Amino acid sequence: MKIIQLSDLHLTRAPDAELFGSSPLTRLERAIDSILAAHADADFCLLTGDLADAGSDAAYAALAATLARLPMPAHLLPGNHDDRAALHRQFPQLPADAGGFLQRTLATPAGRFLLLDTVEAGAPWGSYCAARQAWLAQQIAASGDAALWIAMHHPPLALGIPSMDQFALRDAEALWSLIAPHRARIRHLFFGHLHRPIGGSWRGIPFSCPSSPNHQVALDLATLRGDEVPGCREPAGYAVILVDDDSVVVHHQQLFNGETSFWL
């Protein structure tokens, strides 16, 4: 199975406006061009939040038009910059749980994906309230002994970047208590929010995060200055995930300005 992960697109209200020196829509188009050229055979595309920079109908309409170029299904999750209502207006087919949270499960040949909505409206950090926890408990109970995969916007752990660690998931212990008994069948955790390629493990669960197609967070392991986040001009990108019975490989495809590949 091949999965594409795109995260933190930050599409602007005026679809062709720039954000931090580049157009998020143009950057997304470039990522889509790359996916079509090299990964049109992917089973699905996972978009882990911050689809819009300031959650507007215009941004989501532009997103819908752009994603329509992809031959594979695209599964969307919200991030802290998104607006659930506007997102749902432009993607009315997006399933929601009984509480209106944009979370659901996805059955795949490699197991069941748990697509979690970690947004706390108006806050940059993530939350996972009792209502969402109850939904997740039900989904895990109904999953039998299937392999589990988790995808969400916010990381449930600190990653050593203080400016972003303050905006991680705040209900990580509650989430952990739900998934810990099933640790052995959880194959991977995908998140976004960090705007840089990161991999590791959380209490034994492997995780990864891709670059943003537009702007990156600097690898600054020291500075905490209020709610400011240090940005940087490292390459944009997305992740290509290869899944086999006994392996999960996460490739980070970087996107450069006008450069082409060559044979070594």
Identify the helix (H) or strand (E) that includes residue 255: strand 248-255
Per-residue tokens: 239: 């992740």
- Decide whether 15 or 155 has the Cβ nearer to Fe ion: 155
Of 79 and 111, nearer to Fe ion (C-beta) is 79
CB of 79 to Fe ion, least distance (A): 6
Tell me how far, at minimum, the Cβ of 193 lies from Fe ion, in Å.
6
Q: Given the DSSP bridges, would you call strands 148-151 and 186-190 parallel, antiparallel or unpaired?
A: parallel
List residues binding Fe ion (CB under 5 A).
8, 50
Distance CA 255, CA 249 (A): 19
Distance (Å) of CA 105 to CA 50, 150, 201 = 20, 9, 22
Q: Which is nearer to Fe ion, 23 or 139 (CB)?
A: 23
Q: Which is nearer to Fe ion, 8 or 117 (CB)?
A: 8
Closest CB to Fe ion among residues 50, 117: 50
Question: Phi/psi at 111 (nearest 5 deg)?
Answer: 130, -170
How far apart are CB 7 and Fe ion at their closest, in Å? 7
DSSP, residue by residue, 141-166? HTTTT--EEEE-SS-SS--S-HHHHT
Closest distance of CB 252 from Fe ion, Å: 17
DSSP, residue by residue, 87-144: HHHH-TT----TTS-S-EEEEETTEEEEE---B-TT-SSB---HHHHHHHHHHHHTTT
User: Nearer Cβ to Fe ion, position 112 or 215?
Assistant: 215
Angle between helices 24-38 and 57-67 (to 10 degrees): 20
Q: C-beta of 195: minimal distance to Fe ion in Å?
A: 6
CB nearer to Fe ion: pick between 34 and 80: 80
Rounded distance between C-alpha atoms, residue 260 and residue 258, angstroms: 7
Least separation, in Å, of the C-beta of 9 and Fe ion?
A: 8
Nearer to Fe ion, 8 or 171 (CB): 8
Return the residue nearest Fe ion (CB atom): 50
- Measured from the CB of residue 214, what is the shortest distance to Fe ion in angstroms? 9
DSSP, collapsed to helix, strand or coil, labels residue 238 as: strand
Least distance to Fe ion, CB of residue 81, Å: 6
Sequence-distant (6+) residues with CB within 8 A of 196 are 209, 211, 212, 216, 217, 219, 234
- Decide if 110 contacts 243 (C-beta within 8 A): yes
